[in-house]
Amino acid sequence: MSTSTPSVTTNSSGQAIQGTSGATIGNTSADNISTNEFLDLMLTSLQNQNPLDPSSQDPTQYLTELAQMTGVEQETDTSQNTQDSAQTQSVSQAISMIGDTVTYTDQSTGDPVTGTVSSVQITSSGPTMTVDGVAGINLSTLTNVAAASSAGSTADASSTDDSTTESGS
């Protein structure tokens, strides 16, 4: 493997003159440093700076970099929190449907299927339900949900009538 070194014009202190061309070598592991690594580099640089030539580095450069890094970190945290919140809400929604009668679109036939939700499985891609023994039903395939509470109150009323009839006999 051969490597060519581009010619770079430098000034008397050995710094590259702005506007000269050079090669960029990409290294993704070196491009992505943590906040702590950046702070370590900044402190090392500040400790080793030349006090007789303060113009060699822009003093606001570190603060600008730190502010940008903090902003990106906060955006990443906000994004992760939003994803976690959406996942939690989706799981809660699925769990609340246990016992409910749902209609979903069968992915293999495209036909509507109606059944009762018996359980919820939490997978890496989100919650899925088991409806009348068929596992892996996604929430996105649901077309109708009938709450069990309305069906349950009807069943309770009929069982109450039966017990009243039996005790009355």
| Assigned domain for 111 exists | yes
Rounded CA-CA distance 167/169 in Å is 5
Per residue in 50-105, pLDDT (tens digit) is: 777 766 667 677 778 888 888 888 999 999 999 999 989 999 999 999 999 999 99
| Assigned domain for 118 exists | yes
Identify the residue with better confidence: 50 or 7.
Answer: 50
Rounded CA-CA distance 27/47 in Å is 27
Q: Among candidates 91, 97, 94, which has minimal Cα distance to 149?
A: 97
- Positive or negative torsion for Cα 48, 50, 51, 55: negative
Rounded CA-CA distance 91/128 in Å is 9
Residues in the chain: 169
Range of the domain at 113: 98-157
The residue-averaged pLDDT of 24-29 equals 50
- Positive or negative torsion for Cα 137, 138, 143, 148: positive
Rounded CA-CA distance 145/116 in Å is 10
- Positive or negative torsion for Cα 133, 138, 139, 143: negative
How many domains are contained in the chain?
Answer: 1
The residue-averaged pLDDT of 133-149 equals 89
Rounded CA-CA distance 58/119 in Å is 61
> Token pair of 163, please?
């017990």
Per residue in 95-133, pLDDT (tens digit) is: 999 999 999 999 889 999 999 999 999 988 889 999 999
| Assigned domain for 107 exists | yes
| Assigned domain for 76 exists | no
How does the average pLDDT of the chain come out, rounded?
75
| Assigned domain for 8 exists | no
Q: Which of 3-12, 19-28, 140-149 has the lowest mean pLDDT?
A: 19-28
| Assigned domain for 63 exists | no
| Assigned domain for 4 exists | no
DSSP structure class, residue 22: -
Predicted local confidence at residue 163, as pLDDT: 39
Phi, psi of 112 (to 5 degrees): -75, 140
> Token pair of 117, please?
């939700």
| Assigned domain for 123 exists | yes
Q: Among candidates 90, 91, 71, which has minimal Cα distance to 79?
A: 71
Predicted local confidence at residue 162, as pLDDT: 41
